[in-house]
Amino acid sequence: MNIKRTDSDALNATITIEVAQADYKEKVDKILADYRKTATIPGFRKGHVPASLINKKYRTPVLVDEINKIIQEQLNEYITKEKLNILGNPLPVEQEEIDWSSDDFKFDFEIGLAPDFEVDVKGKKSVTHYQIKTDDETINKQIDRIRQQYGKLVSKEVVEEGDQVTGIFRNDDEDINTDATFSIDKIKGKTNTKKFIGAKKGDSLELKTKGLFEDDHDLMSNLKIEHDKAHDLDVPVTFEITEVNKREMADLNQEFFDKLFGPDVIKSEDELRERLREDAKKQFTQQTDQKLLTDITEGLIEDTKFDLPADFLKKWIANNGENELTEEEAAAEYERSEKGLRYQLIESNILKANEDLQLKFEELKDYASAQIREQMKQYGHTNATDEEVDQVVARIMQNQEEVKRMSEQLQNEKMLKFFKDNAKLKVKEVTYEDFIKEAYDA
């Protein structure tokens, strides 16, 4: 057996495996001898079939199977022994029809090598780490929203600001005849709003769909039209008002507190404010952490420069799926997956340089235990024993999909903490509304 590697460049190489007769003969001869003992061929007694007939009938498929096994084993051993950091899997180089009557064989495999590069986590530019305020104004707005949500509707005759109207949108040409209910606050612009303010039940308003609502998605849902059509629709409609309602806020009393959190969990407005502040902080932290992780990831991909064996990877993509792809399809798939691959390599580089970031089995078990305890608390089981939790964790650890999901979550948490400790961050305190506008260009 002879194996060698020939480098085309820093990212591409060919592994050549030469298989000699001595590498396979003993195993092939044994398999054929066993076949001879058990083969049932008309005209011959079992165990007395001539060896020449067995060789003629079975030698080639047995030889092909055995050589394939040898090649795969030796290829994997060589890659491991040489510590080759390959991308994808080795691809066999096409050759003319193999003469299986020969004694010796040679096979070539293309491989794509991962590039060598360094990662500068700190980077040149700072990344904004948003922190959302949970000040009194934010909590007041949230309490008002909840009181509105749990308040009661009071029927009215005349529309005023903040009211909720129900009616029918009509346009015969566009086949629009739909019931709709919405708050006046959803209407866009003073001109449109003035048409509603002071209107009465039974009135019919002349409106235009373009710029009618602050959000085109409201137009889509209220007129029951398709998403793409809603963005460009510019037609006149009538709106016949059938109901006018004012939503009165719910009182801040024990009945209200119990509806929100269960009997006697919250007993005062001060306790409500503190609970909402804690919940908001957790929710906001999840959102700002996800934004930070996304921004740092994109920054690392942009700033960490290295080449990839693109041609090899496109060829590997074309041949790796259930169905073979064309060159154009493989190129398109490579474009879609390139950023993800780059970040995988960057993350792998960081993990190699920081052993404490690498997941350990005990860490994963502890993480699963903490999640199980939290879920049990949510269902009222606040005093779960270690034995109960361990039994659930044992079942989870047998589920590969669940283990993969938790591993990804824990790895993300560890990477996030690492970035917080090592990246160049610029803390910016904002309201939730400003965070949405700045972070997502809303």
Domain carrying residue 102: 2-113
Cβ–Cβ < 8 Å for 50, 39: no
| DSSP codes, 117-133 | ----SS-SS-EEEEEE-
The pLDDT assigned to 361 comes to 92
Sign of CA dihedral 182, 185, 186, 188: positive
Please name the residue ranges forming H helices in 354-399: 361-378, 386-396
**Domain tally for the chain?**
3
Q: Tell me how long the chain is.
A: 442
The residue out of 197, 214, 248 marking a domain boundary is 248
Q: Radius of gyration of the chain from Cα atoms?
A: 34
> Shortest CA distance to 209 belongs to which of 194, 193, 195, 220?
220
52 and 16 share one domain:
yes
Report phi then psi at 157, rounded to 5. -105, -35
296 and 408 share one domain:
yes
Q: Residue 220: inside a domain, yes or no?
A: yes
- Distance, in Å, from the CA atom of 129 to the CA atom of 424, rounded to the nearest integer, reads 10
At 243, which CATH number? Answer: 3.10.50.30
Q: Residue 354: inside a domain, yes or no?
A: yes
Strands 425-430 and 176-183, by their bridges, are unpaired
178: left (phi over 0), alpha (psi -120 to 50) or beta: beta
Number of Cα atoms under 13 Å in the Cβ half of residue 268: 3
Cβ–Cβ < 8 Å for 208, 235: yes
326 and 417 share one domain:
yes
Please give the structure tokens belonging to residue 439: 């972070």
Q: Residue 286: inside a domain, yes or no?
A: yes
196 and 312 share one domain:
no
Q: Residue 398: inside a domain, yes or no?
A: yes
Q: Residue 204: inside a domain, yes or no?
A: yes
> Which neighbouring-strand residues pair with 109?
15, 92
The pLDDT assigned to 84 comes to 95
288 and 433 share one domain:
yes
236 and 273 share one domain:
no
Cβ–Cβ < 8 Å for 276, 142: yes
86 and 207 share one domain:
no
Tens digit of pLDDT at every position of the chain (442 positions): 899 999 999 999 999 999 999 999 999 999 988 888 887 777 777 777 788 888 888 899 999 999 999 999 999 999 999 999 999 999 999 888 899 989 999 999 999 999 999 999 998 889 999 999 888 888 998 899 899 889 888 999 999 998 999 999 999 998 899 999 999 989 999 999 999 999 999 999 999 999 999 888 899 999 998 887 887 889 999 999 999 999 889 999 999 999 888 888 899 999 999 999 999 898 899 999 999 999 999 999 999 999 999 999 999 999 887 888 999 999 999 999 999 999 999 999 999 999 999 999 999 999 999 999 888 877 777 788 889 889 999 999 999 999 999 999 999 999 999 999 999 999 999 988 889 888 877 5
Rounded to whole angstroms, what are the CA distances from 90 to 84, 104, 106, 317? 11, 22, 15, 12
Taking residue 207's Cβ as centre, other Cβ atoms within 10 Å add up to 20
Taking residue 214's Cβ as centre, other Cβ atoms within 10 Å add up to 13
6 and 80 share one domain:
yes
User: Which residues, 6+ apart, have CB-to-CB distance to 300 below 8 Å?
Assistant: 119, 121, 123, 343, 346
Q: Residue 229: inside a domain, yes or no?
A: yes
Cβ–Cβ < 8 Å for 110, 74: no
38 and 174 share one domain:
no
The pLDDT assigned to 366 comes to 93
Distance of CA 218 to the CA centre of its chain: 28
297 and 388 share one domain:
yes
> Shortest CA distance to 299 belongs to which of 80, 149, 144, 125?
125
279 and 426 share one domain:
yes
Q: Residue 143: inside a domain, yes or no?
A: no
The residue behind tokens 């990804």 is 408
The residue out of 248, 281, 296 marking a domain boundary is 248
Q: Residue 145: inside a domain, yes or no?
A: no
Taking residue 393's Cβ as centre, other Cβ atoms within 10 Å add up to 19
- Distance, in Å, from the CA atom of 385 to the CA atom of 393, rounded to the nearest integer, reads 12
- Distance, in Å, from the CA atom of 77 to the CA atom of 80, rounded to the nearest integer, reads 5
288 and 392 share one domain:
yes
Output DSSP code: residue 267. -
Cβ–Cβ < 8 Å for 148, 247: yes
At 86, which CATH number? Answer: 3.30.70.1050
